[in-house]
Amino acid sequence: MRFASLGSGSKGNATVIDSGKSRVLIDCGFNRKHTRIRLQELSLELSDIDAILVSHEHSDHAKGVTLVCESIDKPFYATYGTARSAGWLDHPLWQCIDSHEKFQINDLSIQTVVVPHDSQEPVQFVVSSERFKVGVLSDLGSLTPYVIDAYQNCHGLLLEANHDLQLLQQGSYPPALKRRVAGDFGHLNNQQAADLLSRLLWPGIQHVLASHISDKNNQLELVQKEFAHVLKCDWKDVDAAIQGESTGWRALK
């Protein structure tokens, strides 16, 4: 099993997970052209994707979903609330998912995880093959026991570290937007992400990538130093998914 981020941040998010038999995209916040280019950097084509899993309707996660799926005639999976908000209820390729249940795409088991975020019925995803489990977690403003439990024992983890509280408060965002980002239904700050990471560490974890790092309210080095305390490594060795390019494959063995 292997996974890669096609890009992560406020301008677009997508993660591909490949079991060897099946390939799914989690979110598609890029247009079709850029999604194709970033997949080709990983030696994949759009037609290699079996489905897209949509966490919520915000454009940085959902912008390219219908364009990509229509071009390859493959389904996309989203909750009813997400589909209603995005205007997808009548779309023939939409598959409705229960926000509390597992479902199957070929050999991949998909666990939806309800998260606190300011959208309509948002979820995140834990994807499992027979041997491995990859968790993708972003766009939540607070930690819940349910989330902490759902992401236990992941072999691969992409974890949001969206903002530094001090940089957010000193930044140019209007006060209402600052409150939204830092609120319980906004995004995880660096310290919250590091706290969660400390709760998710176990001997089987192989790859941890910080993700959804704000280019206005955060700095990669700040994230790396917070994660390094938890991972007990040099901060320069902390892995991250960034906005401008794919990460390349991270293989699980």
**Is residue 176 one of the residues assigned to a domain?**
yes
To the nearest 10°, report the CA torsion of 204, 192, 159, 53. Answer: 120
Q: Compute how many other C-beta atoms are within 10 angstroms of the C-beta atom of residue 224.
A: 22
Query: What would the pLDDT profile of 151-173 be if each residue is shown by its tens digit?
Result: 999 999 999 999 999 999 999 99
Q: Report d(CA 205, CA 182) in Å as an integer.
A: 28
Q: Is 231 helix (H, G, I), strand (E, B) or coil?
A: helix
Q: Which of 3-27 are b and which e, b meaning 16 or more Cβ less than 10 Å from the residue's Cβ?
A: bbbbbbbbebbbbbbbbeebbbbbb
Residue 194's nearest CA partner among 166, 168, 169, 157 is 157
Q: Is 212 helix (H, G, I), strand (E, B) or coil?
A: coil
**Is residue 28 one of the residues assigned to a domain?**
yes
Contact 98, 121 (CB under 8 A): no
Give the structural domain span for 190. Answer: 2-241
**Is residue 179 one of the residues assigned to a domain?**
yes
Query: What would the pLDDT profile of 58-84 be if each residue is shown by its tens digit?
Result: 999 999 999 999 999 999 999 999 999
For residue 100, pLDDT over 90 is answered with no
Position 225 scores a pLDDT of 98
To the nearest 10°, report the CA torsion of 146, 142, 121, 18. Answer: -70
**Is residue 246 one of the residues assigned to a domain?**
no
**Is residue 206 one of the residues assigned to a domain?**
yes
**Is residue 151 one of the residues assigned to a domain?**
yes
What percentage of the chain exceeds 90 in pLDDT? 99
**Is residue 156 one of the residues assigned to a domain?**
yes
SS (H, E, C) 82-105: HHHHHCCCCCCCEEECCCCCEEEE
**Is residue 144 one of the residues assigned to a domain?**
yes
Query: What would the pLDDT profile of 44-59 be if each residue is shown by its tens digit?
Result: 999 999 999 999 999 9
Number of separate domains in the chain: 1
What average pLDDT does range 98-127 have in this prediction? 96
Q: What is the mean pLDDT of the chain?
A: 97
What average pLDDT does range 205-218 have in this prediction? 98
Query: What would the pLDDT profile of 241-252 be if each residue is shown by its tens digit?
Result: 999 999 999 999
Q: Is 226 helix (H, G, I), strand (E, B) or coil?
A: helix
**What are the residues whose beta carbons fall under 8 Å from the beta carbon of 246, sequence distance 6 or more?**
4, 5, 6, 7, 38, 41, 42
CATH code of residue 182: 3.60.15.10
